[in-house]
């Protein structure tokens, strides 16, 4: 049974999403071979003060989605095939380079996985933070200096006045990531894209950095798209989770609902592959074992408050590129066989596009929800 209805009542007045990715598809030229479809129809939303965790294995299109949001995909070889990315009422994919310059670093900021190499080695920390400030705020050098000092204080760097004149190589990894965050947040962005911000850090520093991000998010109300493949990080920090595979969203849900009851076999496979302290296993279950098991490809009947079309959707089968024999239902040939289907008021699962699904398209995933455990 779904446990969604119990949590749904907790949401306060709805906010409009800051970022709304709608059916985004990005492909890359592969020289001689066919184009590589890195992202093939992805939809997601980020609300103010919300953390959307985008989870998936390497190459599933998480980073490409985030980079597309800032038009940082090199084109060529990259190309936006279809879809929109709405930010503050404008489709950023249609903006000119000049318009993008004011959005990048100003309204949308990004932090990266490799703090060791993401800072320019030949400029001081101060220069690099101030560069962002001077680009986006109408202030003089002196004022930019004090804004940068404040930004460094905000991210908990001790003695910021001294550190402003230091070079990146004089900082530890954790401190550099704090500098990256200070740089990203100095211009008060409304959306932060955090592309695996803690992957290169050791575990205690990871916790510090994530705690810092949470605090800054609460004080500024900014939306965060947290790209990660660490499910522990997701469980601790995310409000909403978007699980991706092969350039598509396979499951989209609130964090606790997803962890309590994963619906897609791939999500289940991910959770099964995590070792648990309480159970002793001879060997861990792999994701492949789960998605090769035909019995996993079942979904509970869709339904829930306000989901009128649920009854007419027919039998839903979770989408998978090469499903086990006998699982794949009849789909219309020539069309994309994937569709993201709303199976409950707060849950979306990637399913095969049966004629019934095609006849009743689901709305894009949009969850205005924040966890309340903090």
Site for another protein, rule CB under 8 A: 70, 72, 97, 100-106, 109-110, 112, 114, 117-124, 131-132, 135-136, 167, 169, 180, 183-184
d(CA 76, CA 201): 33
Whole-number minimum distance, CB 369 to another protein, in Å? 28
Q: Evaluate whether 342 touches 363 at the Cβ level (below 8 Å).
A: yes
Nearer to another protein (CB atom), residue 110 or residue 313: 110
C-alpha dist (Å) from residue 149 to 51, 117, 134, 251 = 26, 22, 14, 41
Nearer to another protein (CB atom), residue 183 or residue 234: 183
Whole-number minimum distance, CB 38 to another protein, in Å? 17
Nearer to another protein (CB atom), residue 183 or residue 250: 183
- The pairing of strands 108-111 and 347-352 is unpaired
Whole-number minimum distance, CB 289 to another protein, in Å? 36
d(CA 245, CA 40): 10
Whole-number minimum distance, CB 205 to another protein, in Å? 18
Q: Which residues contact 144 (CB under 8 A, 6 or more apart)?
A: 130, 133, 134, 137
Nearer to another protein (CB atom), residue 3 or residue 170: 170
| Kind plus residue range of the DSSP H or E element containing 228 | strand 223-228
CA atoms within 13 A on the CB side of 220: 21
Token pair of 353, please? Answer: 């596009």
- The pairing of strands 223-228 and 51-55 is parallel
Q: Which residues contact 2 (CB under 8 A, 6 or more apart)?
A: 257, 261, 300, 304, 344, 347
Whole-number minimum distance, CB 118 to another protein, in Å? 4
Whole-number minimum distance, CB 129 to another protein, in Å? 9
Nearer to another protein (CB atom), residue 135 or residue 307: 135
Nearer to another protein (CB atom), residue 107 or residue 370: 107
């Amino acid at each position: 049974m779904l446990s969604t209805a119990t949590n749904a009542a907790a949401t306060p007045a709805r906010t409009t999403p800051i970022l709304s990715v709608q059916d985004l598809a990005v492909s890359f030229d592969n020289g001689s071979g066919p184009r590589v479809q890195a992202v093939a129809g992805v939809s997601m939303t980020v609300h103010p003060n919300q953390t959307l965790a985008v989870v998936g294995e390497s190459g599933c299109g998480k980073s490409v989605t985030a980079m597309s949001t800032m038009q940082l995909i090199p084109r060529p070889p990259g190309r936006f095939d279809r879809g929109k990315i709405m930010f503050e009422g404008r489709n950023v994919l249609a903006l000119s380079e000049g318009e993008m310059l004011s959005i990048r670093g100003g309204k949308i900021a990004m932090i990266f996985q490799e703090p060791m190499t993401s800072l320019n080695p030949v400029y001081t920390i101060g220069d690099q933070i101030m560069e962002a400030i001077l680009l986006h705020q109408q202030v003089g050098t002196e004022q930019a200096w004090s804004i940068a000092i404040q930004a460094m204080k905000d991210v908990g760097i001790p003695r910021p006045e001294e550190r402003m004149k230091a070079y990146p190589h004089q900082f530890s990894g954790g401190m550099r990531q704090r500098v990256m965050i200070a740089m990203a947040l100095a211009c008060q962005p409304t959306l932060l894209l955090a592309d695996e911000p803690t992957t290169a850090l050791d575990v205690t520093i990871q916790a510090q950095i994530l705690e810092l991000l949470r605090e800054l998010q609460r004080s500024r109300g900014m939306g965060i798209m947290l790209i990660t493949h660490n499910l522990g990080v997701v469980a601790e920090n995310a409000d909403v989770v978007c699980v991706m595979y092969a350039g598509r969203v396979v499951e989209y849900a609130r964090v606790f609902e997803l962890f309590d009851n994963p619906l897609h076999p791939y999500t289940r496979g991910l959770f099964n592959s995590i070792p648990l302290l309480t159970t002793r296993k001879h060997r861990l279950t792999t994701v492949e074992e789960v998605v090769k098991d035909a019995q996993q490809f079942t979904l509970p009947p869709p339904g829930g408050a306000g989901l009128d079309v649920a009854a007419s959707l027919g039998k839903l089968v979770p989408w998978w590129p090469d499903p086990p024999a006998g699982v794949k239902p009849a789909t219309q040939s020539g069309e994309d066989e994937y569709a993201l289907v709303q199976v409950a008021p707060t849950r979306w699962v990637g399913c095969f596009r049966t004629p019934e699904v095609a006849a009743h398209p689901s709305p894009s995933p949009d969850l205005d929800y924040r966890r309340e455990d903090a």
